[in-house]
Structure 1
């Protein structure tokens, strides 16, 4: 039985016992909702670098309806398990939302009392793609973009007792210029099942009227300091001081106080450097008025420096450091963009480390913050792709022509908007805004080593401007301007995709990274999603796959003395028809294991 069939058979009627059985496969300790007495997916606080003690996770069963009208439905189709998209088996719905349809959500929250001088914030980790929010019939917020979080202050809309939350979602998928990653309404090959709606945690929390709205933590490695920038909301009150305390395994080592809105610099004595081999994290507490949050950070720097032979190298803490990585799509057979539970991706990250990798390239997707937290604590560097969008991609321009004639892509300017599916000016503006928001969202995560604005020309445009925008916001990481092709020369490294030719290191003034290679396909019928298989070279069985992979890795190892600074093998796991992963789609078989 193939993976998809097995999942649908087991979860066709996803009662609580079925969900619990799947979660406990990963060793997850499931929790129940106090109000509904049902199991709650992802009960963990979603934001580890700005954690408060009082909060309520709103995942679990919501009502849903899929309609062809934008008006609130009078009747509901059934229930959906949030935060799983309706296209997934785990949601209990298993229905594809079409661009002309509207997906409605409804649930109630109970407010015991409305405390004075408090604000009630409602947080959504990610909702794909365009949505509008109502609380007790009052319009509160609209949001566009399926990969980034948003928050609504719903204080003025709630009352004591039961309160109705309604969310309306529309998802154009790959029929518009909005960011979409690998999603498509007609899956196949390297493009996968489109998903929609809520796919990350929903939660609420009461905060003081004067509170911290965001944090930016920047290690000043060479100076032995941490820069702390806290954005605050004061609700008309006078500006208060921000206080920060730094701890080293519970021992207070630094304190600082300053005005809100200013960048504070805390001294870090006897700096402990973070690396994949020793991922040391400091603890941090920050106060602003009555608001208190807990956080963490690491001390490390990422630079480009020449080695003793004058070869440019990627350096970690000023030492040449080869980054050995995997392409990570972040898809799961039960939940598409959403894993069955947190322990599922923790297990996967532990396997990455056990196999000897120290880096992942997060491909055209933004994960929940807890995924980055586990990379931080386990010691895995992350190259973060921006999520691609634009019109319909030309296979000739983004695949065939540049594969046959790679130098051509370096000569063509990315101002040819029609060539790379970026004719729509509104779409270009939206992508640039989301690029900036992505950097702000993830810039405090120690694991992030590089930003990757564009991949293989998919919706690429004005890459030089994108690099400049990113540098304004973050000068502490590297930028891989154009992974694969259409390199305009503005980034920090030469980024190469090579699936068909002999691997080599070209001469360049910048470090050279092999950011996609391999892609060997190994189809295992008992663990396959579909009877079709996609990849770049077919291996018959795991033994042939392992031998081919090991031979390829020996070739990569031999290129290090010639200037190769990083490698990204395609890929971590199979995804639907694309069976070139080191793990099968269900993560039950590692194709390079000896046993």
Structure 2
């Protein structure tokens, strides 16, 4: 696959779930759908799911606010409907419809019969269609409601009637792929893969549905086409748990580690049988990767790992949150590597699974983040718990994902510095994430006012590198105080203090530069007017933070320009603003003996 991508062949990236592949049993429902608004909220009462003419055509998975949807409507429409037909042959198999992401409350009907509903705008969900499916033509109808309430998980979507500061165009409706999949009556529902680098094993938990008599699971692990191990066991209580030794003599250090510099991936095949007859086969992969910390140092596979990250908000011009094509995903990550970064902070968005796959394949460490709500109440608590759990499930098997960020800059918990309830909420999310995934580092509230956290992260957009050197020269004062001249927020909430966690400057820079200036665009600090001045400030700021020997990583804001925010190293079209080799030279000022791209 990597060689195909290097040659510009992305045909293998069409499958929407690259880490859990049933290649021959799926079909895409992306493309043109009928579409209409329901501004009076009368559609359900009038039973539009039966026989209703819709007024528009829309290109799924682009939201109606985007130009690539074919509509490009900036108006506010809280309730929308989709409709299309698809053909299905008569079969004994079970059929599911998968939604990768729909914002926000989704209801689905097939052939006039209600299928189910899902609440949450950023995570995948599925419904079974088998009992309502007809041989031949089938009509699916979808109603989506999105009030953009501050209790919803909305991330960077503006909850006002206009964009402002770092909040952007709203996203309403289907914004990631929709697809159909068929399986036999006995199939694999989930496979969790946990690498144990120290033992040289992969720990497997495989879960199936309950429709079997004598279920058995076969597992084959291979590396670059060579078989390493085969194993198997009976299905008991709808699951199987195995530990497989993946060490081999050919590897320099017993196993082939995943790092940004050496993104080695093992292939794994899960074959399910009932009464010795195959009923399911899933192709997947994993990486042998361990992320940990020892005192102030982050360790990757037990070696110090200095992170040189760039913040990626995942906006794609006329597609908004949806890439214009797979080329966008590939080209962005190749440029990340070309500029010398070894990771990305996916900010206030849950990435497409193909983006996550490319991070695994190309060697880009990734921070996953839960998009924010902006008002703490019972609804937002329930919404955050639901989507956080699903986000962790989505990322669990991806070796590139090394850190989860649960909250950002006290958004939605504005009084967390002193408010014990808000502190308890962050801590509850932190403990839940630790329960669900013990293999990653967790940041409770990124940027400032930390409670429980594995990393002290600081956001500092100070434009003067001498001010930075002065503010951070006293270690004790810096870590337990308020070193950021831009936020003036305390690093820790009241009752919490520094406890030898690694320290990462997880947002800095944000230097505004745009050839075609307009009054609405902005960035951090005084706007510069030349490429040379931008690169000089980038170098000065980067060196100032890298020279702090107690800091374990940095994250530059940001990868691309996004709407009114023009502080990207790439422009709105995702083209370079600056010579990537000059940026690479700046980043290679220090810490070049780690996992740096050469």
Instruction: Specify the TM-score bucket, using the shorter chain as the normaliser.
Output: 0.7 to 0.9
Change (3 A) 1:267 1:30: closer
458, 461, 464: which one aligns with 1:496: 458
Matches of 2:98 and 2:202 in 1, distance apart?
A: 28
Please name the residue that 1:552 is paired with.
541
Please name the residue that 2:513 is paired with.
522
Q: Does residue 90 of structure 1 match 2:68?
A: yes
Map 1:248-397; keep pairs closer than 5 Å. Answer: 248-258=223-233, 259=235, 260-269=238-247, 270-289=254-273, 290-306=279-295, 312-391=296-375
Please name the residue that 1:442 is paired with.
395
Matches of 1:239 and 1:383 in 2, distance apart?
A: 41
Q: Does residue 228 of structure 1 match 2:204?
A: yes
Q: Does residue 47 of structure 1 match 2:35?
A: no
Task: Please report the TM-score for the alignment, with normalisation by the length of structure 1.
Answer: 0.83
Map 1:412-423; keep pairs closer than 5 Å. Answer: 422=376
Deviation, 1:263, is 2.3
Matches of 1:349 and 1:160 in 2, distance apart?
A: 43
Change (3 A) 1:88 1:43: farther
Please name the residue that 1:568 is paired with.
555
Matches of 1:92 and 1:30 in 2, distance apart?
A: 24
86, 95, 98: which one aligns with 1:109: 86
User: Unaligned regions of 5+ residues in structure 1, if any?
Assistant: 1-25, 32-41, 307-311, 392-421
User: Does structure 1 retain, via aligned residues, the 8 Å contact 2:208–2:239?
Assistant: yes
User: Does structure 1 retain, via aligned residues, the 8 Å contact 2:13–2:326?
Assistant: no
Partner deviation per Cα, 1:448-493 (whole Å, 9 max, x = no partner): 11011110001243111111101111111111121112201x2111
Map 1:426-441; keep pairs closer than 5 Å. Answer: 426-441=379-394
User: Does structure 2 retain, via aligned residues, the 8 Å contact 1:70–1:102?
Assistant: no
Partner deviation per Cα, 1:339-360 (whole Å, 9 max, x = no partner): 1011111101000001110111
Partner deviation per Cα, 1:349-385 (whole Å, 9 max, x = no partner): 0000011101111111101111000000110111111
Deviation, 1:593, is 4.2
User: Does structure 2 retain, via aligned residues, the 8 Å contact 1:147–1:366?
Assistant: yes
Partner deviation per Cα, 1:197-239 (whole Å, 9 max, x = no partner): 111111111101111112211101111110111221133x336
Matches of 2:455 and 2:13 in 1, distance apart?
A: 40
Matches of 1:148 and 1:133 in 2, distance apart?
A: 16
Change (3 A) 1:157 1:441: same
User: Unaligned regions of 5+ residues in structure 2, if any?
Assistant: 1-5, 248-253, 274-278, 414-421, 480-497, 583-598
Matches of 1:302 and 1:556 in 2, distance apart?
A: 23
Q: Does residue 126 of structure 1 match 2:101?
A: yes
SS at match of 2:69: coil
Matches of 2:197 and 2:468 in 1, distance apart?
A: 39
User: Does structure 2 retain, via aligned residues, the 8 Å contact 1:246–1:253?
Assistant: yes
Partner deviation per Cα, 1:393-432 (whole Å, 9 max, x = no partner): xxxxxxxxxxxxxxxxxxxxxxxxxxxxx1x212212211
Matches of 1:593 and 1:349 in 2, distance apart?
A: 13
Q: Does residue 591 of structure 1 match 2:578?
A: yes
User: Does structure 2 retain, via aligned residues, the 8 Å contact 1:298–1:446?
Assistant: yes
Matches of 1:109 and 1:98 in 2, distance apart?
A: 30
SS at match of 2:387: helix
152, 155, 167: which one aligns with 2:142: 167
Q: Does residue 58 of structure 1 match 2:29?
A: yes
Please name the residue that 2:585 is paired with.
none
SS at match of 2:459: strand
User: Does structure 2 retain, via aligned residues, the 8 Å contact 1:545–1:591?
Assistant: no
User: Does structure 2 retain, via aligned residues, the 8 Å contact 1:98–1:172?
Assistant: no
Matches of 2:243 and 2:354 in 1, distance apart?
A: 26
Please name the residue that 1:465 is paired with.
428
Please name the residue that 2:492 is paired with.
none
User: Does structure 2 retain, via aligned residues, the 8 Å contact 1:86–1:97?
Assistant: no
Matches of 2:214 and 2:554 in 1, distance apart?
A: 48
SS at match of 2:512: strand
Please name the residue that 1:11 is paired with.
none
SS at match of 2:319: coil
User: Does structure 1 retain, via aligned residues, the 8 Å contact 2:106–2:119?
Assistant: yes
Please name the residue that 2:520 is paired with.
532
Matches of 2:10 and 2:37 in 1, distance apart?
A: 29
Deviation, 1:447, is 0.5
Q: Does residue 67 of structure 1 match 2:38?
A: yes
Matches of 2:33 and 2:514 in 1, distance apart?
A: 38
User: Does structure 2 retain, via aligned residues, the 8 Å contact 1:573–1:584?
Assistant: yes
User: Does structure 2 retain, via aligned residues, the 8 Å contact 1:63–1:79?
Assistant: yes
Matches of 2:575 and 2:244 in 1, distance apart?
A: 46
Q: CA RMSD in A?
A: 2.0
Name which of structure 1's ranges 313-322 and 426-435 shifts more when overlaid on structure 2. Answer: 426-435
User: Does structure 2 retain, via aligned residues, the 8 Å contact 1:43–1:57?
Assistant: no
Deviation, 1:499, is 1.1
Change (3 A) 1:267 1:27: closer
Partner deviation per Cα, 1:259-292 (whole Å, 9 max, x = no partner): 3423211111131111001000000100122110
User: Does structure 2 retain, via aligned residues, the 8 Å contact 1:314–1:511?
Assistant: yes
Partner deviation per Cα, 1:278-337 (whole Å, 9 max, x = no partner): 00000010012211000000001011114xxxxx20011101110100111001111000
Change (3 A) 1:593 1:298: closer
User: Does structure 2 retain, via aligned residues, the 8 Å contact 1:28–1:341?
Assistant: no
Change (3 A) 1:252 1:28: closer
147, 155, 163: which one aligns with 1:187: 163
Name which of structure 1's ranges 550-559 and 579-588 shifts more when overlaid on structure 2. Answer: 550-559
Name which of structure 1's ranges 201-210 and 582-591 shifts more when overlaid on structure 2. Answer: 582-591
Matches of 2:8 and 2:29 in 1, distance apart?
A: 18
